[in-house]
Structure 1
């Protein structure tokens, strides 16, 4: 019997575990991956101030602290069922059943699949898989490739792949269909890229992006965008081209690329072949909420948070007694935000174990404020209107609680 079971050994889960252990709660953290750290293990990017965010080092800090505190971390453990009886949560795994009065779901996010003809060929992978292979396992995913899908996530990881010495021929849009929708619409993609233009290596691009704020100016800029694309890190980003097919007999050999109009419709006669040996598909992220559904947690669909999310408040409490959430399961944001949310969840659990404790109550209040500060200072936002989405979810919680 544990005081707390935490599912997910990523930034949110480890942060919460460390807080709980500091107050002598008996904690076990389970994760299906072979080592703790979650998505931190694949992250490497440069901040606007020139410093580097090294996810592997951040994961080491959290893991080392957990080891010092005596957190019980079980890797290679998959959870397949959750239930609650008489106020005790039972977490059924491939190894054993864990029981605790408190359960934290810090399961993170998953990538949205974007089907493209030929996507079952060897050499086709999600952009996140390429990140893990290159940054975690040190495996070269190919000699020359193309990234299909232009968004905050793909831009960041593409740069990481370049830093690993992998040749990325270009980034291009997916063809517009009922799944890709906005992801294949040049004007909407341009609008989303303006949110991360401050990270561009070129001063010219950073300055130009400040001038292109209105939809009219964006449309004009897109009209006169060079067919060769905008170069970032010596790599073309094509907002006027899309990948319509992945070609090859036994593996990826090339992709078919077509020019597109401003609304994303394809100019058929423009089709060309580009020789590559791997393709990364970037469809974005959505909260990984299946275990919350199994537990019986109510949901709300909020696009600004990435999709369906468990209804919860700013203390990371769900509608179910003793069930907490933290990290990307609550909405797609950065690892820094996930860490601060994990701290909130940790103090909320401690507060439940030691009610009316002025010290932990004050720590919880400070942790909640830190989430807001970290969010407001974030250099990258995966979805526009994240603050509005959070506020709307809080209102839903208040209405049904």
Structure 2
């Protein structure tokens, strides 16, 4: 295969994008890594907890340390990293239109385009949700772990998935009092290891419960919660008022598909993976030739999975650009798919594994 003289462009310098760019650069490809933020690393630098699993998946290493390792590797490779750069258009032929530092715009013809645009936190509307003190869990996590600012003294966490219970524990570590964690479903959604730490701290969990409203004159002062029935309707007479100054919303994530839509990628709806997402095959190739989707845009999972997807797409894109021979590509992608399969095992990973398998099989691939 002839070597392309066009660069690979990776949009998003989070865990998936960094891993994709590193694989491309190591293969000898010309790489441009773009991110709209002023610092690379994405969600990793908000994650102070230790990863778990196997050693090859960075078990026992904190998220921000993994981020530092990836950044150091990308710098050693001489990566062309363009921060404060927004991709605002993708034309036919993989022409990428970018605006850098809100000062200049330009277009680049890409040989391959890897979209690692992540996901957006879901909102939850209720009376009083616009009061100061109501925020997403990710916002609270950014405040305490990046800016070292405590968002409030007494917090209600709405949602018991991994994000909710991890941020609840980090709020406790930062000195806040977590009044309760509530969950609309009849059982908790997060990993037991995370939930147990919050329980041991004395925080009550309320399942089959929802928030009815927030009250306060200038900011949040009270949160009113209630039990829900099997159809998630509030049960009259079960209302409870909690004195809190902060309400954190952790009710899931939705893939950020805007750029994929601009590129013309076909979409599909997979509720187990966050909702509407680009169709893709086992190598993360979208329906548009040359466009790959990796990380949460390709289905909301864990940071470890996002990194492996980035590596997988980076390896295959390097092959498509003529920077890697077919035998090496097959060997490397086989190893990466094996690690991905291992990550999706277990009680919490099985649903995602089966959902991802359905996605790639529709595209003629096979996850395993």
| Same fold, judged at TM 0.5 (above) | yes
Moved more, 307-316 or 250-259: 250-259
Aligned in 2, Cα 1:5/1:144: closer, same or farther, shift over 3 Å? Answer: same
CA distance in 2, matches of 1:266, 1:367: 46
Aligned in 2, Cα 1:336/1:349: closer, same or farther, shift over 3 Å? Answer: same
Residue 367 of structure 1, CA deviation: 1.9
Give SS of 1:297's match.
Answer: coil
Alignment match, 1:350: 318
CA distance in 1, matches of 2:259, 2:178: 36
Aligned in 2, Cα 1:266/1:321: closer, same or farther, shift over 3 Å? Answer: closer
Normalising by structure 2, what TM-score? 0.88
- Picking from 252, 274, 278, the partner of 1:310 is 278
Flag the structure with higher strand content.
1
Say whether the 8 Å CA contact 1:89–1:101 is kept in structure 2.
no
Give SS of 1:268's match.
Answer: coil
Residue 308 of structure 1, CA deviation: 1.2
CA distance in 2, matches of 1:53, 1:326: 22
Give a deviation string over 1:167-190, Cα, whole Å, max 9, x none: 2111124xxxxxxxxxx3x42xx1
- The correspondence of residues 189-204 of structure 1 with structure 2, limited to 5 A, is 190=187, 193=189, 196-197=191-192, 199-201=194-196
Residue 307 of structure 1, CA deviation: 0.8
Normalising by structure 1, what TM-score? 0.81
Say whether the 8 Å CA contact 1:48–1:198 is kept in structure 2.
no
Give a deviation string over 1:143-171, Cα, whole Å, max 9, x none: 11111223232122212222222221111
Alignment match, 1:20: 24
Give SS of 1:78's match.
Answer: strand
Residue 14 of structure 1, CA deviation: 0.3
Say whether the 8 Å CA contact 1:47–1:199 is kept in structure 2.
no
Matched, 1:71 2:79: yes
Residue 2 of structure 1, CA deviation: 4.8
- Picking from 374, 384, 398, the partner of 2:343 is 374
Alignment match, 1:141: 151
Residue 380 of structure 1, CA deviation: 5.6
Moved more, 234-243 or 55-64: 234-243
Give a deviation string over 1:99-145, Cα, whole Å, max 9, x none: 31110000011111111110111111011111111111111111111
Residue 253 of structure 1, CA deviation: 1.2
Say whether the 8 Å CA contact 1:111–1:285 is kept in structure 2.
yes
Alignment match, 2:10: 6
Say whether the 8 Å CA contact 1:43–1:53 is kept in structure 2.
no
Alignment match, 2:65: 57
Say whether the 8 Å CA contact 1:89–1:102 is kept in structure 2.
no
User: Structure 2 unaligned runs (5+)?
Assistant: none
Please tell me the root mean square deviation across aligned C-alpha atoms, in Å: 2.4
Say whether the 8 Å CA contact 1:20–1:350 is kept in structure 2.
yes
Alignment match, 1:217: none
CA distance in 1, matches of 2:246, 2:157: 9
Give SS of 1:246's match.
Answer: strand
Give SS of 1:115's match.
Answer: coil
Say whether the 8 Å CA contact 1:314–1:394 is kept in structure 2.
yes
User: Structure 1 unaligned runs (5+)?
Assistant: 174-183, 203-229
Flag the structure with higher helix content.
1
Say whether the 8 Å CA contact 1:351–1:361 is kept in structure 2.
no
Count of residue pairs brought into register by the alignment: 352
Residue 45 of structure 1, CA deviation: 2.6
- Picking from 39, 42, 62, the partner of 1:38 is 42
Matched, 1:276 2:282: no
Say whether the 8 Å CA contact 2:85–2:98 is kept in structure 1.
no
Residue 47 of structure 1, CA deviation: 5.2
